[in-house]
Amino acid sequence: MAQLFAGLSAIRRTSVIVASALALQACGDGADPGGNGEITAPSATTCLPRNSTLAAVKSDEVLRASNFTVYIDRSQSMAGFNRGATQELRPMGDLLALIGERASDYENAEFYAFGKEIKEIPASQLASFGGTAPFDCQSCDNQESRLDNVLKAATTAGKDTVSLIITDLWLDNRSLTSSPQIALGQPLRQALQDGMSIGVIGILAPFNGAVYDVPGVGTYRGAKELPLFVLAIGPEEDISNFQINLKQSGSSSFSSDRMNYSLFSKEPNNPVIPAQLRAIGAGASRNLISEDQALRGVEQYLLQLGVADAQSGRLGKTIQLNNTLREGLVWWGGLAEFTNAWQLRADADLEACGADTWTEIGGIRGLWELRPDGEQATFSFGPEIQGQLLPGNVYYLETHVGSSPLAVPNKANQWMRDWSLDAENARQLVDTQEPAFKTLNLSELTTILENELSRATGASRKAASFGFLLRVER
């Protein structure tokens, strides 16, 4: 430790060294993300500030479910999906086959069919819902589908359960016993506040049958395609994996031109990336500043303020946010960015790494810019940072970029609004005889989900984070 600071008293320049703690997750294989062969993967002995949020991130602490529950809407109109299935497009049958395979990954698997009531079905009967008989049956509770009852069951099952609800999401008055804001909003709000995620998978499916309760029309039999949905509630990891399984299944039913996906998650898993800062101009470079094992797992950079000021030296990074976030994640909104800094004590014992090893300096803002479309964010700093960080010291910085507040309506869910049938345009859609029909009041459910996510996440949510060490030389 003494060697780290000895050189500082012998020189009169001020430099900044930045070392990413983001390797905590991304560089677990010991690779050097910057390519200079000097940085190794951090270990349990890496010394970071006690109240660093990134220091608390552990990649092996991803929540996964142990219970798997499936609910199948058995309303009579659901038979149209199987009656309309073709040799190439059989979404219900393919869904059930994949669900049957996934069930074996969990300690417990249960299957239910729901109409007005929720009734358990044996696993041996699951495949039969790929035909019409379970929906066209007599006196089998197929006249209405009480989605509110199913949501209550799914959202109170606990964080160790992932629930899949297969339904047409047709939200008419018979589907709910109270307003959508109460019947749907309350259980969805509770799920998000409890840390569960909600995935909406929409599949444009071939259809041959009756669509009941179309506003101003009644029963409509001209639909050739109708959206089929999987509403997934539980740990984000399980939901995302299921959606990936559908994409990678090879089924034409789940191709990109037929399937859409939105993920509502209060705290997205692992939005943590390596720093891998790029040096621009002179006076900024990646440079090993400490051989101490307590810092060896962190990327390290040098910013010489005098040179950088004269020759436009900077350190920066541009992030394509769609590459760091899970597919379908609903996060976009106004820019929220924050960088926090800690100073390393000159006489600190890094091996002991006590509570007083690092002193929190406070926040630095204005280091991020977000492109208006929300697709790209740029982090950058240069000599101007010396107004907040004093020369001759070593610092640890961690920085976050995200959204605040969540935009409502959110562009990630435009597909849901495009697929929505509202009461005032139902007659027009029927009269035009469009082969692809839409889902009643889907836009209302979309707004409820967005509002509840915004309420659950509060002021801001992170889209990407990374950390670094910092020393200033003149």
Question: Are residues 73 and 23 part of one domain?
Answer: no
Q: What per-residue confidence (pLDDT) applies to 460?
A: 67
Residues 147 and 50 in one domain: no
Given this model, what pLDDT does residue 175 score?
Answer: 61
pLDDT at 12: 28
Q: Do 229 and 110 reside in the same domain of the chain? A: yes
For residues 157 and 282, membership in a common domain is answered with no
Please indicate, yes or no, if residue 422 is contained in any of the structural domains.
no
Note the pTM of the prediction, 2 decimals. 0.83
The verdict on 258 and 310 lying in the same domain is: no
What's the confidence (pLDDT) of residue 56?
Answer: 61
In a domain, 437, yes or no: no
Give the structural domain span for 318. Answer: 2-59+271-406+461-473
- Identify whether residues 199 and 225 lie together within a single domain: yes
- Tell me if 234 is assigned to some domain: yes
Whether residues 255 and 178 fall in one domain: yes
The answer to the question of residue 442 being in a domain is no
Q: Rounded to whole angstroms, what are the CA distances from 439 to 50, 160, 185, 231, 259? A: 50, 31, 18, 14, 15
The whole-angstrom separation of Cα 438 and Cα 168 is 10
Last residue of a domain, one of 253, 269, 285: 269
How does pLDDT run along the chain (474 residues), one tens digit per residue?
Answer: 444 433 333 322 333 444 444 333 333 333 333 333 333 334 556 888 888 887 765 544 567 899 999 999 998 899 999 999 999 999 999 999 999 999 999 999 999 999 889 999 999 999 999 999 999 877 787 778 788 899 999 999 999 999 999 999 998 766 666 777 788 889 999 999 998 999 999 999 999 998 988 988 988 999 999 999 999 999 999 999 999 999 999 999 999 999 999 999 987 765 788 899 999 989 888 887 677 888 877 888 888 889 889 999 999 999 988 788 889 999 888 888 999 999 988 888 888 888 889 999 989 999 999 888 878 999 999 999 888 888 888 889 999 988 888 889 999 999 999 999 988 888 888 888 888 999 999 999 999 999 999 988 876 678 889 998 877 788
Do both 279 and 244 map to the same domain?
A: no
Same domain, 259 and 314: no
Query: What's the CA gap between 446 and 450, in Å, rounded?
Result: 6
Nearest to 246 by CA among 323, 166, 322: 166
- For residue 71, what pLDDT is reported? 97
Evaluate whether residue 426 is within a structural domain: no
Same domain, 139 and 29: no
DSSP state at residue 256: T
Residue-level length of the chain: 474
161 in any annotated domain = yes
Residue 446 belongs to some domain of the structure: no
Asked if residue 83 and residue 232 are part of one domain, the reply reads: yes
Whether 102 and 229 have beta carbons less than 8 Å apart is answered as no
What pLDDT was estimated at residue 225?
97
Question: 99: Cβ–Cβ under 8 A, 6 or more apart, which residues?
Answer: 70, 126, 164
Q: From 240, 269, 298, give the residue that closes a domain.
A: 269
pLDDT at res. 88: 95
Same domain? For 107 and 11 the reply is: no
378 found inside a domain: yes
Instruction: Check residue 61 and give its pLDDT.
Output: 58
Q: How many domains does the chain have?
A: 2
Q: From CA 147, how far away is CA 188, in angstroms rounded?
A: 12
| Residue 93 to residue 326: CA distance in whole angstroms | 27
What would the two tokens of residue 257 be? 């031109």
**Residue 101 CB: number of other CB atoms within 10 A?**
11
Residue linked to tokens 């797992």: 297
Q: Which of 221, 249, 269 is the last residue of a domain?
A: 269
Query: CA 304 to CA 474: how far, in whole Å?
Result: 6
Residue matched to tokens 């810092």: 295
